[in-house]
Amino acid sequence: YQQNPKTYTIVKQLLAEGNAGELQKYFGSRMEFGTAGLRAAMGAGISHMNDLTIIQTTQGFCRYLEKNFSDLKKRGVVIGFDARAHLSSGGSSKRFARLAANTFISQGVPVYLFSDIIPTPFVPYTVTHLKLCAGIMVTASHNPKQDNGYKVYWENGAQIISPHDKGISQAIEENQEPWPQAWDDKLIDSSPLLHDPYAMVNKEYFKDIQKQCFYRNINKETNLKFVHTSVHGVGHKFVQLAFKAFDLSPPFAVPEQKDPDPDFPTVKYPNPEEGKGVLTLSFALAEKDGARIILANDPDADRLAVAEKQE
């Protein structure tokens, strides 16, 4: 089934070498779909995240949604992605998101596909804001750089719970062969079923969070300084907008880490929960600029670590 030339070449070379050990690693067992969706390294074979496993997973998810929502073709789904990419296998979050969108659109399902990288919370927000049936976020969150993932949200904006995971997993097993046109993601660009919610959600989300701002006057007057790091993920732009929505002065951004970079060059693990190892540059900037509080997002900006300087 595999039509991605990079992963196809990897497998072809292993076969030519008779490398049974590596082939077992790639094809020994399929990724398990759980309540958190999928998460695995990008690469060849059914045990990795790649074009084929994304298509197969989305075909199963689509069939499962068809069984659960009679109005799926009216309401649709939303799909977002982060900045992860894996050159050797040709995989990237954007590529996977487009293939997933193509799968749904081929079945007549409207898709709200973000045109640019977003923080994970935008997906469940869009599900509830537009009253969609489900959402998909292509991200591996704070995992190492070689990983990617496929998070699934139900119509209530929450991650799925059991037995949905088992039902989706079964549907994936029953829909292994790629459907016609599954590989041609260029078809979606001219489809009337494709919608881009980026501008609308950017506006509505930051308007809505202002309802949670209870001390605007204090925010305007405070001398408190913040440092923020997005740890090479998607968070920088959106945290700046959130501070603006609350009338707070913008936080100082750690320059080496503010732009998305799938190689995460300054950290071993891009997880704020690792503490000092991830926050070294943040501590240095806070000391330089006299900031008392450090905020650190994980790469898909759905997790936050906070550090406060003690007197």
Bridge partners of residue 36, in order along the sequence: none
Tokens of 167: 């039902």
Bridge partners of residue 86, in order along the sequence: 91
pLDDT on residue 12: 85
Average per-residue pLDDT for the chain? 95
Q: Does residue 191 carry a catalytic annotation?
A: no
CATH 3.40.120.10 given to domain 5-197: yes
pLDDT on residue 289: 97
pTM of the full predicted structure?
0.94
Rounded to whole angstroms, the Cα distance separating 236 from 258 reads 6
Q: Give the 3-state DSSP-derived string for 50-89, with helices as H, strands as E and coil as C.
A: CHHHHHHHHHHHHHHHHHHCCCHHHHCEEEEECCCEECCC
Domain assignments of the chain as residue spans, ordered by start: 5-197, 213-308
Read off φ and ψ for residue 41, nearest 5 degrees: -70, 150
Query: pLDDT below 70 — which residues of the chain?
Result: 1
Considering Cα of 307, then 226, then 274, then 79, what sign does the dihedral take?
positive
Rounded to whole angstroms, the Cα distance separating 308 from 299 reads 21
pLDDT on residue 122: 99
Secondary structure letter of residue 45 according to DSSP: S
Coil vs helix vs strand at 216: helix
Rounded to whole angstroms, the Cα distance separating 256 from 3 reads 37
Question: Is there a common fold for 5-197 and 213-308?
Answer: yes
Coil vs helix vs strand at 49: strand
228 sits in which H/E element: strand 226-229
State the catalytic residue, choosing from 89, 93, 106, 141.
Answer: 141
Rounded to whole angstroms, the Cα distance separating 96 from 83 reads 11
280 sits in which H/E element: helix 276-289
The CATH code belonging to domain 213-308 is: 3.40.120.10
Tokens of 189: 């660009």
pLDDT in tens, 164-179: 999 999 999 999 999 9
pLDDT on residue 89: 87
